[in-house]
Amino acid sequence: MLRIKKLHLLCMILLTIPACSFINFHAQAEPVQKDNVVPFLQELFEDRTRLLMDQDKKHIEDHYLLKDKRSNYEYLHEINRAEYIQEWAKHRKIKFVNAESSIRIARIEVLGDMAKVSLVQSLKLSYEYVNSYPGQHDFGIGTRHGITLRKKDNRWYVEREWYSDPLEENPKKIEKSDLHFIANKAVLEPTKIINKYNRSRAVDYANKYAGITWGAGNGQRYNQKYLDYNSKGGDCTNFSSQVIGDKEEGGGLPMRSGWHYSYGNGGSQAWVQTDAFKNFLIRSGYGRIIGQGSFSNVVQSVNDLQQQPEKPQLLPGDLIAYVLRGDVDHFSVVVGFDQSGYPLINSHTADRFKVPFDLGWDKNTKYLLIHIRD
């Protein structure tokens, strides 16, 4: 299930980006520069990436018709996401030190003074901790965009845009916390005797098939054995099920009645739907909740478990469920920890690669830490 922040996103994406269109972004030749649309798009995304770093509105003002209600809405959306990411960094006592963006254009259709574009953006962000923990951590986010451009006075401007934005949150609603993670010493043991769950392979699978984000493997493509559920409401649960259940490359947990995938036909409800997946994990015994609640609750739970090594720890290959208003809204896969012990996750919709687990969420979000039994 996907938290779609712009309700009209789904229909627009269905019209503009085919279900497996991320494959085409890599297979087709360099797109033709139709009426200077491509240079405009390249400059637009470069300037929006600069905005994330310093919040200087001047970077993007010239790309929008600020007196047009629709275009101004899109402009303010970009301002808000830049404010959110910097506010999040301040509360987590880190600073962003670099941002890089690349786009791949799937389709451009120019009709007079209007252009419709389908593209994906691969964003790389890098941060360091303020006054602690030396070193830099890099992570990636991938998003699919449907954009309508309008030409005025021989220049292109953004009129409308649709995308599932993982950074679209209220910057005033980030949970403030004085707690911090204890540096995590958890290490995967690839030589460990595997009883049921191959944790090391599960993490490798999550990294290989993370999708269109920077850092992902497989040419930034999903595993084509499985259907892509982005156009059906979101692919996060389908991806998490693959990570723990794919028998050839993933964790290899045996499929069971209620939780299974039929190749060519798709997954069962528990395979693709968030609440059903969470319920299956707990009832089947495959998973166990080892922490839950707010961001502060999660920090405390993870740190407490580290002081009790006889208890199940949060490890790479475990899962995090995101709960809004009592319902599970999203799933991600823990793939490691940064230098401070901050859990890092991969997910689909939007595609994430080694992202701090709470980036893109706010104080209204509750978390379930689900340890997969080895």
Would you list the domain boundaries of the chain?
9-173, 199-372
Q: 126: burial class by Cβ within 10 Å (0-12, 13-18, 19+)?
A: middle
Residue with tokens 């995090």: 320
φ/ψ of residue 147, rounded to 5: -125, 135
Q: What is the mean pLDDT of residues 106-114?
A: 96
Q: How confident is the model at residue 195 (pLDDT cuts 50, 70, 90)?
A: low
Q: How confident is the model at residue 193 (pLDDT cuts 50, 70, 90)?
A: very low
Contact 337, 330 (CB under 8 A): no
Tens of pLDDT along 198-214? 999 999 999 999 999 99
Q: How confident is the model at residue 186 (pLDDT cuts 50, 70, 90)?
A: low
Q: What is the fold of 9-173?
A: Nuclear Transport Factor 2; Chain: A, (3.10.450)
124-130-135 Cα angle (round to 5): 55
The residues that bridge with 121 in the sheet, in sequence order, are 103, 143
Q: How many residues does the chain have?
A: 374
CA 303 to chain centre: 25
Q: What type of residue is 64? A: Y
pTM of the model: 0.90
Contact 137, 124 (CB under 8 A): no
The Cα–Cα gap between 280 and 259 comes to: 7
